[in-house]
Structure 1
Amino acid sequence: MVAARLIGPSLVVLSIVLILSPRTYSISQSDALLKLKRSFANSQALESWVPSSDPCSNEASWVGVVCYNGIVTGLRLGKMSLSGKIDVDALTEIAGLRSLSFVNNSFSGPIPEFNRLGALKAIYLSGNQFSGEIPAGYFSDMGSLKKLWLSHNKFTGTIPSSAAHLTHLMELHLENNEFSGAVPSIDVPTLVSLDLSNNQLEGKIPPSLSKFNASSFEGNSGLCGEKLGKECPKAVEQPPPVPNTTSAGGPSTDRGSVDDQHDGSAGSRKKIIVVLIALGVVLLTIFIFLIIRMRRRSKVQQDFNVLGKENASDPIQKDVLETEKKEVQLSRKGMGSSRKSPAPNVAKGSATCDLVLLSDEKGVFGMADLMKAAAEVLGNGGFGSSYKAVMGNGVTVVVKRIRETADGKSKDEFDAEMWKLGRLKHPNILTPLAYHYRKDEKLLVCEYVPKGSLLYLLHGDRGPSHGDLNWPVRLKIIKGIAKGMGFLHDELRSSGLPHGNLKSSNILLNSEYEPLLADYGFSSLLGTSHVPQELFACKAPEAAQFGGISPKCDVYCLGVVILEILTGKFPSQYLSNGKGGTDIIEWVRSAISDGREAKLFDPEIANSISSFPEMEKLLHIGAACTETNPEQRLDMREALRRIDEIQMEEGAETRTIDVSPQFSALSLQEGYSANSG
């Protein structure tokens, strides 16, 4: 007990000293990568990793290195014939590292000590020759881990119990190993992908994993349960223990036994006390660490949190498609309180009853005008509810409620972001007219565009107006989108996501079919945990898998829109539940590889076009914009240059393209079946 009293405070002091001492990284991230390279036995594929160069350079970035704002965030070293040792010491020197991929190489031996990298969010080791048992507590200090792929190796022993307690785990793939023993109960709501097939597991499948298909467990002859259609044997009841008695049949009163029990009880109490003291030290250490981490967390570390919640609701906005044609009065709760009527001739930029005007092009109006206006509910989109309001002066606006703004965003910061957006002027940009800020309510007011969104015209209205979307009009729309994106990438180039949410529902068309980009620049307004949920740019492969947000995510979104306009298909990429729509990227990629481009175009433009070669060029641009690897993807400047080069050839000979019936016009049921899911 004396030793415990002395050790407890000492551990606390030592823990505080260790935590308060800022960690220093002895070498640069480029030196750390070169050190890692030297640990590989076969590194010919890493020839671009050379000294005196920047691994994150836009001109000559190192192969397999994922960067964000000049910081290495991930390594994707799959299929590079690498072998030898993975130098974890070198990896610990890379402060921003969040994901590792060594899939389909030739590494062997026990699993490396990746558990020393507590901030990792994704580990991909599939397709190697790793073997041996993984310690039960291997993942205890990896609370951020979300994706763990160890499949197609030679791991043995039981599944580490610590893996079952990863509270943010989303994907667990252990198939085709030699794991044995029981399947642990993994009661983690975030887990959406599981594969334990082809191991040597046995026993009953835990109820917590009953939501997964039988294919997740097949190839384990010892497993049983209703999921596999195999009844588990009933447990054999053990007889109760027989009490120790004397030869005369009475209970034993051996004094030695009583003393032994007393000594054992006292020893147990001592052990419990020591354990409790140690536990208290650990909890205190964690508490202090969290406080200091919160205070010292840098902006970069906040940006890396984009691999946060990934169970987002469908990002597709239901604006015009599910319009509720009923008049509603904007409630005082929803629109804020009106203290007084706006004074006449209010100057631009002033607050009229807590409504700040960014532009007086549509006249001067205030909160009271909005309060009096009857409104149509346009829908409940990614950022919040939207209303169409017709005010007394005849001006029609759209009022959008911004649900999830940045955590701790002050009014001054919010004002600055709004004014930055309010100063943007371009023919293809929908500039906000006004905004309202309150701690629990933020509103954004924009001009109403009567023709509606591109999504609606492409998929929601098969009437006469849809017939206006011929090839010249679609080319005009794509060029306008490109010009708007080029403008945003110039004006908001300091942002990691200049637009951030480009999709057909956020592209509005005026009476001349000139596109107006909306819902841009919100990445700085949303809380870090909400960015992956609300912004379509975060569906880009590098962002969804590794958290690598960059302007190239906008390029990915532009490519999806181009392919959507050319094919007339509703992209499944807009949905998060995997139901409905077409995987437009894979479909186009497969057709291009087979030389079937002519089969891709929307029948309403494919049967009578004046310039099929130009359509084909644009299709290839869209495909190049949606490359999975951002290093192989076009950058925005190059994409815009190529789009600008495409011209409509007047007087060109009309050409008829053979389009098979299976590519007929998209039905609403196909495009929106996921909305009810």
Structure 2
Amino acid sequence: MFLKNLSFSVFFVLLFLPLSKPDLAADRAALLSIRSSVGGRTLFWNISQSTPCSWAGVLCEGNRVTVLRLPGVALSGQLPTGIFSNLTQLRTLSLRLNALTGQLPSDLAACTKLRNLFLQGNMFSGEIPEFLFTLHDIVRLNLGENNFTGALSVGFGNFTRLRTLYLENNRLSGSIPDLKFEKLEQFNVSNNLLNGSIPAGFQAFDSSSFLGNSLCGQPLDSCATGPNGTLVVPSTPTDEAGNAGKKKKLSGGAIVGIVIGSVVGFFLLVLILMFLCRKKGSKKSRSIDIASIKQQELGEKPIGEVENGSGYGNANGYSVAAAAAAAMVGNGKGGAEVNGAGAKKLVFFGKTSRVFDLEDLLRASAEVLGKGTFGTAYRAVLEVGTAVAVKRLKDVTISEREFKEKIEMVGAMDHESLVPLRAYYYSRDEKLLVYDYMPMGSLSALLHGNKGAGRTPLNWEIRSGIALGAARGIQYLHSQGPNVSHGNIKSSNILLTQSYEARVSDFGLAHLVGPSSTPNRVAGYRAPEVTDPRRVSQKADVFSFGVLLLELLTGKPPTHALLHEEGVDLPRWVQSIVREEWTSEVFDLELLRYQNVEEEMVQLLQLGIDCAAQYPDNRPSMSEVTSRIEELRRSSLREDQDLQPDVVDVDDNSSR
């Protein structure tokens, strides 16, 4: 009897065991199954930890995994069935830009809370499965750049909350069903095998959303009807024999001719490259002779050998040295100081050491750092070994007297978080500004430049420190008077010292240039109320700084917010993410490894949103901004100190 009761009990437990709710342990097991099932780059997860919530790309809420982001980590192979049935609390799944193949696992249907699914840039194949359309809460869906086939299902209409649908660069065929999406903002089915007319519900989208198909109707060319009333749409071009899409085979003679021509062309190219290299090697980098400068027309001929610089912007190979901007020295025109011989010279500010003069600057070797809003910047290395940054201003339209008044105000600014203006040169034709050279370049170059293996990841400590330094510099500028503003806040104007300390540059220059320099200024950073970029209020500065904070946290330039599915500006993109409650998806992947400061990261994100408020009165002052950054940095420091004894080093050998 006892054995009978025991057997019944075991049967009862086994019967209901599969119905038990998954927990964090089941989530962890599912993640490890993913790790062991797909090949590719090692996922640096410390599997000795019992919780997966601190693993890179994994975020948890309520003791469950809610976000899994593994973009661009070279995963390959097929996702096996049986993994996602445990990850039932997933709201965001991002496996984009990998090399995953096969069909989507059917148990993905168990992730009923999924809102954001990013699978673009893989090699998934087969028809888009019907079970996907049971996930009614999906808001963002990107299946682009895969090998999906078949027709567009009417099941897409089940996504009543859908805002993004990207299906481009697949092999989908048939017509586009007439679906009604009340909230759809982004749509793309370009480069498929679709045909027919574009339904009215999709005609508001740009033509680029439909190119590469056999489609007609708005926004493409109008559809035509045949003699019997049938719809005539563009078709695949055919050859003379009527073989659609097939190219004629080349004759053997043609192939031989192509091969011989290619070989000859290759050798000609090699000879040309050898000639250019020898010519370049014969010209050694030389100093600039003032006598020869006076004989050259300004800006028309190269004056010295210039190398591409890695400094403040994109080095563009200009061959005009920094000192060439002052080629009119000694012409007796314009203002600035004049020596006994009547030649212009540099005007230094304050206690700046006068270790060089204009002739030293002209003789310096130089390299282009980049072209900015107000002119071209150069790195000039003086004969004594000192490096300075020289900015050659363009489109200066104000009088000499006004220029001197305004530039002297800039030179009087003295704060550790500003790039100090050391000297200037003024003539009727040329205006030069001389600054300290910042060896680490700009924040823009650091964020959006080299992404290769040699890149040093920008951790939370560096990024929050840069935010604080920039805020302090701008706060100091605002403290100089209610009408004093920067006017051109952007990541390329935040320069960095060797220890990654932020220095604000280009302050006060917005008032010096004419309107021709203003149309494209601070694209993506400009406050909505600004109509004249030469007149920017302090509240408009706060808006620009808010965009800068969002750029710092997301790693996305505000001028190219499409990097992550959205066709809106950066502030609105971030706000839409916060509204949809998938905040973790917004952060730069390099920040996701710092789980212990996630709360501070969210606080800084919220500060960026507050600063970028639509209406100026809703934005905080820069003093308040600085205080909030100081407080969250103190908070993260305290947390680091509290967690220090329990830190577990990640053993690379323990990772797959």
TM range (shorter): 0.3 to 0.5
Q: How high is the TM-score relative to the length of structure 1?
A: 0.45
Q: How high is the TM-score relative to the length of structure 2?
A: 0.46
